[in-house]
Structure 1
């Protein structure tokens, strides 16, 4: 059987050594017969006497080399078959990979410039007879005495070590033309790779997966995008992050390749001026990106939108958010004690990602409310400074009552007197959803009710001896506010658009959660949604 390399192709040059350290360079300026073999392959064992015979017959005019794929095995082959031809060591498999081998033995006959004249893999009696005839013609030397009837007509070869699982990925990562360009770090064989990564400040405090070239290549298989495409400029260092660098951090976070499109899109959204990740990460309030995923990709990658959606145990939920935090840390330079200045911070600084349970709700999902198609996969980033804060209401039986409960708790978020540029993320549990929709309420009806109940008259929002938080009297001049002003209702939020509502959680339990937002609007952080580009 012929190889995949066409006759007339110039074979790739290489330098290999034998067991004594003597270097052999190809092409040699003379015709050369290259024979790739492996000790464990019985077809190679069948072929080696013929390879040795060609060396003895034509060695004066043709370089005949055996190229072994395993150092200890090479020595065994030399001893077992009494080989006198050079046995070159390709234990690293770089040459086998460069020659695109999938089967051994693989035989290549080339002229002095390295141009391929003949090739085949496995064992074929006719192939060998034709090869010997070519060597006689090329060298003008007599051929060896071979009892051809002692050899089978054909025998299939064995798998090349260069295509074994894991090895092929490593070779591709190391080969010329690899999509990897990031600086490589060699770690001593006696060093603990996990401790090394921690000592280098490349973790979030928890162990990370070492980003070996093989793992990064596998991760890059999750996207069609070029590995060197710049995805975003990451604050605070304003460092460009490529697809490859995002993939590296996704590996470290524990992502699978199919999560990479979500991570890439989330990084793009995080680094927009609107989201203002520099402010989000630097504020002493401890803000961090909370991510909601909508659309078909939720189910395709196995995200959790139901039981325990905000907790542990689901790989994409846990690792996607962690990946963008690692990008922010390792590429952008946002580290605690540097530009990361949170007073207390939050466990959400590790990760906070979940999916909306769209199928459970009769309402349109979040991304559709914000201009996307239902079949679009979308990631949304919300700058959360607190939460989840649980709202416990197991007794309200009407939508109005339950909406009132939500409004009462939400009014106290941050501070009961806090008003102005702020936002809220409400994660409505299914049982509460059922109570709301049973009365025919829409999502907007619920948002209006929350805004209604959380509004308070101005007199209740003035700073006083009970609390210095509130609207200062000085704002109203020397005469203070009028009675009409004191009776005026002041809403918690500038608009119901500042209340972001999604459905998630278990079917059992009347417990809704809310996340307090950081300062909203142009001076703070705005919610950003982006469509995910899938493979």
Structure 2
């Protein structure tokens, strides 16, 4: 993080009547004649937030850095404050003739003006400025170490040189940006989210927010990132093992619920590809947490022989609002309507093409034939898989009235093969199951529950996608599903 706070003490308001205005506010413009009346009748000080020459009379002090407005909690302009012996006694906001007359002790204010008009938002609470002001005036409660950057130093190159990136540029995590990111969650910045492997470092909400900034997230994405970090740092998911394996696998985040649509996640065309900020940056933020805070860097603990572009970010939303067979999170125990994600240890997607099947009986056979190839056609029950069914394939099943259970069962029925076909040496291939399984009449490709079904993709194209998994179970990784905590 970069940036320093100006922790100067709050400016003292002068005794008398103090009024804070800004030219952009129509109510402030309306009460200029009242300011002139008060200037002639009482001890008056006017502060202006935007235009230093507004009002032209009486002359105003320019609150250029908004220090007065910030330190004295100005939320609305105009604000009228009564100050005695350097202490605020009372205030009112907006224009209301009886209140202004009562506070100032001057009658007959603003004759000809409406009796009241509401004020406008103070610049000191402008969402585009408030985080900058919090940093400027020392209201930041961030605990992370600050990194000073020389004026002549290229911040982007500095972050590359320090090994903070995934090979792509990252957004500099300034205090202002991190504080804006933290506004996306109700959780305290100091709260510990998880212990991150492989270095087993406790990571706070604030640190996750830093990674989310670097990844390019918006604040509203932060709860999803936090939940993904929690899911990844469990014994069940086994992130350390996922890093250490030489297989090209990483965390795949499957999101669902109304929140995916609220933050603009893509569940349609190109859902597994580029172009959607939420999909890409949520997945990237998780990877940056593991890299920068957990120490999971390629060539070190990350020992992938080939890797995969999916290891940069692999996150997408299910189209659960239009799915004909529900959503994965529902199958894994999350109630309908609850935002949730499932973390799966998977590789890059494999396209399944079937342009001709128009019956579920034909299509399940097609799916089964392709699914046999996950990791290797002769390796069984070691690896899970997610089938991301596209809408046109799903329509074949929906038109026939097949539900999720029937689809998975129908595919699974055609995934069984005899031990003689799978045993080591069969078909002249050394790879396969041990000889002890050679006499088995029927062996399943996936363990019970190992074939998972999701629904996403564009409406045109008879395609689906298969995401093969890493070693499953206690020796590998289990899918982890969590409700999103805001």
Q: 1:261 aligns with which of 223, 226, 234?
A: 223
The superposition leaves residues 333-375 of structure 1 with CA deviations (integer Å, 9 ceiling, x where unpaired) of 2111221111111111111111222244332322222222212
Query: Which residue of 447, 464, 471 maps to 1:519?
Result: 471
Aligned to 1:494: 447
Please state whether the residue corresponding to 1:533 is helix, strand or coil: coil
Of 413, 417, 422, the residue aligned with 1:461 is 422
In the alignment, which residue of structure 2 is the partner of 1:530? Answer: 482
Contact kept, 8 Å, 1:226 with 1:243, in 2: the verdict is yes
Q: Given the superposition, is the C-alpha separation of residues 397 and 54 from structure 1 closer, same or farther in structure 2, using an over 3 Å criterion?
A: closer
Alignment of 1:21-170 (within 5 A): 91-101=64-74, 102-103=76-77, 109-111=83-85, 114-117=86-89, 162-164=124-126, 166-170=128-132
Paired position in structure 2 for 1:138: none
Paired with 1:378 and 1:159, the residues of 2 have a C-alpha distance of 36
Counterpart of 1:298 in structure 2 is 260
Output one character per residue of 1:32-66: Cα deviation in whole Å (capped at 9) or x when no partner. Answer: 569687997988999799989999xxxxxxxx999
**Distance in 1 of aligned mates of 2:259 and 2:210:** 22
Pair 1:507-2:481 in alignment = no
Check 1:251–1:461 CA distance in 2 against 1; reply closer, same or farther (3 A cut). Answer: same
Report if aligned partners of 2:20, 2:48 keep a CA contact under 8 Å in 1: yes
**Structure 2 residue runs without a partner (length 5+):** 1-6
CA shift for structure 1 position 129: 12
1:333 aligns with 2:286: no
After TM superposition, the score normalised by the length of structure 2 is 0.81
**Counterpart contact for 1:228–1:242, Cα < 8 Å:** yes
Shift of 1:378: 1.2
Post-superposition Cα deviations, 1:66-118, rounded to whole Å, max 9, x if no partner, equal: 98979x96xx99xx99x9xxx9997543443111135478666342xx43356
Aligned match for 1:350, one of 293, 305, 312: 312
TM-score (norm 1): 0.74
Distance change in 2, residues 1:154/1:515 (3 Å): same
Deviations 1:475-508 (A, max 9, x none): x5xxxx8xxx53522222222x100111111222
- Summarize the Cα distance change of 1:228–1:130 in structure 2 as closer, same or farther, 3 Å threshold: closer
CA shift in 2, pair 1:106/1:524, >3 Å? same
2:213 is the counterpart of 1:251: yes
Q: Distance in 2 between matches of 1:491 and 1:121?
A: 73
CA RMSD of aligned residues (A): 4.0
Structure 1: how far apart are the matches of 2:314 and 2:103? Answer: 67
Question: How many Å separate the matches in 1 of 2:196 and 2:398?
Answer: 42
Q: Secondary structure at the match of 1:14?
A: coil
Unaligned runs of 5+ in 1: 1-11, 17-25, 56-63, 134-147
> Which residue in 2 is equivalent to 1:144?
none
Contact 2:17 2:104 in 1 (8 A): no
CA distance in 2, matches of 1:307, 1:36: 55
Cα offset for 1:165? Answer: 5.2
Inter-partner Cα distance in structure 2 for 1:304 and 1:448: 28
Q: Deviations over 1:119-162 (max 9, x none)?
A: 678999x97999799xxxxxxxxxxxxxx99x977999998653
- Tell me how many residue pairs correspond in the alignment: 467
In the TM superposition, 1:289-438 aligns within 5 A as 289-385=251-347, 387-438=348-399
| TM superposition shift of 1:526 | 0.2
